[in-house]
Structure 1
């Protein structure tokens, strides 16, 4: 992570991504445990992502911003 605090927009986007992950999981009627099993992650990691805690997403958001490309262009 950068030594300076993350810009507010990174935190906002991180939370939005977590919200979309949660909504997609719920729409598919999956528990966090089942999603973790299907994705090869542990339940705690799924929970941290849904709660908007720091992840690789922060770095990707900053890189996309620096390159002036949408995040989807890096991970699509």
Structure 2
């Protein structure tokens, strides 16, 4: 197994898909990254890293983002 700081490619691919889903839903709701981050109780740079697949999100963070976007958590990770 690769070191913790270097996920396997399939993990990175899923991370990108999740980030793309969040971005797409956020944009369809016409919400800024700042607005979503503030409402979710996270920093904007954190949301930027999640949407850009530069960081993995904790499940609690995904739950908060889903709530702000008014979608089921499954919609973010489909």
Counterpart in 2 of 1:11? 12
Gaps of 5+ in 2: 59-73
Gaps of 5+ in 1: 58-71
Separation (CA, whole Å) in 1 of partners of 2:10 and 2:22? 18
TM-score (norm 1): 0.66
* Deviation of the 1:55 alpha carbon: 1.7
* Deviation of the 1:56 alpha carbon: 4.0
What is the alpha-carbon root mean square deviation over aligned residues?
Answer: 2.1
TM-score (norm 2): 0.65
Separation (CA, whole Å) in 1 of partners of 2:57 and 2:36? 18
Separation (CA, whole Å) in 2 of partners of 1:25 and 1:10? 22
